[in-house]
Amino acid sequence: PISRDDVDTYQDIRSRLDALAGRINGEFADMDWQPIRYLNRTYRRDQLAGIYRAARVGLVTPLRDGMNLVAKEYVAAQNPDDPGVLVLSRFAGAAEQMGEALLVNPFSREELSDAIKRALDMPLEERKRKWAALMQVVRDTDVSVWRDDFVGSLRAIERPANGDDESAAADAA
């Protein structure tokens, strides 16, 4: 299912995107080409992987987000012989790990448009090099690594000075 479909703000953004994509395609499309392929529905995993693989540019631009696995899914789905280019918000959690992506400020239209142009114009060898580095990040930071880091962080949290968790919980209540 489409995530966050029950959130009014997301519904508003979706309506605006629907209208904008329609206006752009209405103005610039011709009989055998349209500038925006706006796909906004649920896809099976195999279909989604095919869409990612076919995309010359993966544009993942949250204004603020957690890890954002879409960026990693896009990279993992690429053809190593002809990979696409990831354009990623520097505010996505994945940006900390994925420095070979084209990192952008999603609030800057100019930065976004420059990055999209750069991605579309990027030579094959540079695309391959960036993809290989990003794919290594995906391989090196799988769910086991995430789990171990998360559990390690939880264990590192300081306990109350007297070491009595139940007393501390009762005091907090």
32 & 106 share domain? no
Q: Which pLDDT score is estimated for 151?
A: 93
Q: Is residue 64 part of a domain?
A: yes
Q: Is residue 105 part of a domain?
A: yes
The answer to whether residues 13 and 80 belong to one domain is no
> Based on the domain organization, do 36 and 93 belong to the same domain?
no
Residue 103 shares a structural domain with residue 69: yes
Quote the CA–CA distance of 146 and 160 in Å, as a whole number.
Answer: 26
Do 27 and 91 reside in the same domain of the chain?
no
What confidence tens digit (pLDDT) does each residue in 4-17 have? 677 788 889 889 99
Q: Is the pLDDT of residue 168 over 60?
A: no
Does residue 163 carry a pLDDT above 70? no
Question: Residue range 153-170: average pLDDT?
Answer: 70
DSSP state of 30: B
Residue 158 falls within a domain, yes or no?
no
| 125 part of a folded domain | yes
Q: What is the pTM of this model?
A: 0.77
Judge if 116 and 60 occupy the same domain: yes
Chain segment 110-148, per-residue pLDDT in tens: 999 999 999 999 999 999 999 999 999 999 988 888 889
Residue 172 lies in a domain: no
Domain containing 27: what range? 1-42
Backbone angles phi, psi at 159, to 5 degrees: -85, 160
Q: What is the CA radius of gyration of the chain?
A: 21
As for how many domains the chain has, the answer is: 2
Give the separation between CA 45 and CA 51, rounded to whole angstroms. Answer: 10
pLDDT at 109 over 80: yes
Statement to judge: residues 49 and 103 lie in one domain: yes
69-106 confidence digits (pLDDT tens): 899 999 999 999 999 999 999 999 899 999 999 999 99
Are 14 and 65 in the same domain?
Answer: no
- Indicate if 55 and 113 belong to the same structural domain: yes
Residues 85 and 21 in one domain: no
Contacts with 173 (C-beta within 8 Å, 6 or more apart), sequence order:
none
Judge if 34 and 113 occupy the same domain.
no
pLDDT tens digits for range 33-54: 999 988 888 899 999 999 999 9
**38 and 67 assigned to the same domain:** no
CATH number at residue 133: 3.40.50.2000
The pLDDT, as a whole number, for residue 127 is 99
Report yes or no on 167 lying in a domain: no
Q: Determine the Cα–Cα distance for residues 85 and 111; give it in Å rounded to an integer.
A: 15
pLDDT of 73 reads 95
